[in-house]
Copies of this chain bind each other. A is one copy, B any other.
Amino acid sequence: MSKLWGGRFSGGTDALMERFNASFPFDRRLYNEDIQGSIAYAGALERAGVITADEGALLRQGLEMVLAEFREGAFSPQASDEDIHTAVERRLSELIGPLAGKLHTGRSRNDQVATDLRLYLRGNLAERRQDLRRLQAAALALAERHTDVLMPGYTHLQRAQPVRFSHWLLSYFWAWERDISRLDDLQRRANVLPLGSGALAGTPLKLDRHALARELGFEGPCQNSMDGVRDRDFVVEALAWAALVSVHLSQLAEDLVVWSSNEVNFVRVADAYATGSSLMPQKRNPDSLELVRGKAGRIIGDLSGLLTVLKGLPSTYNKDLQEDKEALFDALDTLALAVPIVAGVIETLEVQPERMLAALDAAMLSTDVADYLVGKGIPFREAHALAGRAVQRAEELSCQISQLSLAEWQAISPLFGEDVTELFSWEASVNRRDSYGGTSLRALREQIREARERLMNRDSSEVKADAS
């Protein structure tokens, strides 16, 4: 036996075309999903009266044997195995004879591959979700250990206002929380059964698609067979999700690469995540983080590539859709490395509080100076201008703004009193940002509590969800 479709063909296939057409080299990783789907389908065929109970049992037994061969690395591919479906059916027929030929009744590779890929995505995303949870836990643990550490907060990579290191770190926690929220939405939407759509028009068998869906853990069957074989929304959605995850990681990586530089030196990436130079003996490069940053480009390319493939395709199945798999696998594989690596980087990160403290300079408190004037009744906009003048004056005098004399202050505005010096406390400034979501110690602790609850509650409620 060879191809699943040779009946009406007379000419052979071009050898290069065989290679171009073959998806087995990359879709073979769907073997488990393909076979689980076939086992369930055999049951459905039996219930529909298409095969007998004995035939059903034999099919299932044969399929389990093929599955075992794959699992044990004992499966031996043939040149004719153009895809995983062909390969499995070919091997099944070798094992149990012509009965294997009944398995495809009413089924097409169009609905089969869509089912396989959804099953695969479901399982894979459940793992990616756990990785993200571990990442959040790593960040939260580090944040909890360093609530007292102050550092410069930046906008435009310029020193802006002092913040807590933990506050910075948790800013990523919430980005990952959104990533998980998106993942859950996507899982729900992807978890729909195409099987029973046939090639495009539905199945002529008396299949109970709702039962088949339940058996395979889907929320239900798709509502329209033509949509069922065309729909690749779930792949696009997964790639868009992955792209955004990778962008978040790239931003954290950028922060840490800059902060690992000799000039900044706020953190030190552990040896386990750094590499050296073949030429320069002193080098310790944060390669892990640079790779993470670069991978965002790769995944964005996967996404924009697949969208381009789908754009303007005519209805139902077209062979172009075969391009969905490598892009998806690439993005998921990339995240399967990148997320744990970032978690590892965080778990082993050496924080340098004294360097962070040393990088605070008094000009970062000029907003507090303006706020001081606001407290004296000056409109903020005017207060802002006066505080700006103080910064300029300090630059002229080559001193810190905190070192201006009272006379200097009063030359700027008579409203400045002796208490202006009290403004120049990092701790006090940070703790003034005390509303919900701010960087004060109180607000940070509230934030940590919420984050901790998110990890705890979700994790219990997720047991069920992840089991699906």
Residue from the list B189, B320, B367 in contact with A280, Cβ < 8 A: B367
What residues of chain B lie closer than 8 Å to A371, measured between beta carbons?
105-106, 204
Q: Is the CB of A158 within 8 A of B285?
A: yes
Looking at the assembled complex, report how far the CB atom of A239 sits from the nearest CB atom of chain B, in whole angstroms.
9
Q: Is the CB of B439 within 8 A of A159?
A: no
The 0/1 profile, CB within 8 Å of B marked 1, for residues 191-224 of chain A is 0000011111111111111100000000001111
We find that the number of chain A residues with CB closer than 8 angstroms to chain B is: 206
Which residues, 1 to 30 on A, are CB-close (under 8 Å) to B?
Answer: 1, 3-14, 16-17, 19-21
Which one of A116-124, A243-251, A413-421, A458-466 is at the B interface? A243-251
Looking at the assembled complex, report how far the CB atom of A281 sits from the nearest CB atom of chain B, in whole angstroms.
4
Interface residue A298 (Cβ < 8 Å from any Cβ of B):
yes
Which one of A32-40, A69-77, A403-411, A429-437 is at the B interface? A429-437
* Nearest B residue (CB) for A273: B17
* Nearest B residue (CB) for A251: B313
Interface residue A64 (Cβ < 8 Å from any Cβ of B):
no
Residue from the list B226, B233, B451 in contact with A163, Cβ < 8 A: B226
Interface residue A353 (Cβ < 8 Å from any Cβ of B):
no
Q: Is the CB of A221 within 8 A of B437?
A: yes
Q: Is the CB of B297 within 8 A of A311?
A: yes
The 0/1 profile, CB within 8 Å of B marked 1, for residues 222-266 of chain A is 111111111101001100100110110011011101101111100
Q: Is the CB of B236 within 8 A of A244?
A: yes
What residues of chain B lie closer than 8 Å to A227, measured between beta carbons?
170-172, 174-175
Q: Is the CB of A261 within 8 A of B447?
A: no
In the bound complex, how far is the Cα of B338 from the Cα of A82, in angstroms? 18
* Nearest B residue (CB) for A13: B272
* Nearest B residue (CB) for A4: B278
* Nearest B residue (CB) for A184: B185
Residue from the list B21, B200, B337 in contact with A20, Cβ < 8 A: B337
* Nearest B residue (CB) for A296: B311
Q: Is the CB of A225 within 8 A of B438?
A: yes
In the bound complex, how far is the Cα of B359 from the Cα of A380, in angstroms? 39
What residues of chain B lie closer than 8 Å to A436, measured between beta carbons?
196, 209-210, 221, 223
Q: Is the CB of B202 within 8 A of A438?
A: yes
The 0/1 profile, CB within 8 Å of B marked 1, for residues 139-179 of chain A is 00000000000001111111111110001101111110010
Interface residue A57 (Cβ < 8 Å from any Cβ of B):
no
In the bound complex, how far is the Cα of B285 from the Cα of A302, in angstroms? 26
Looking at the assembled complex, report how far the CB atom of A156 sits from the nearest CB atom of chain B, in whole angstroms.
4
User: Given A170-B224, A201-B439, A206-B435, does the pair A312, B284 have CB atoms closer than 8 Å?
Assistant: no
Q: Is the CB of A344 within 8 A of B14?
A: yes
What residues of chain B lie closer than 8 Å to A319, measured between beta carbons?
156, 275, 285, 287, 290-291, 294
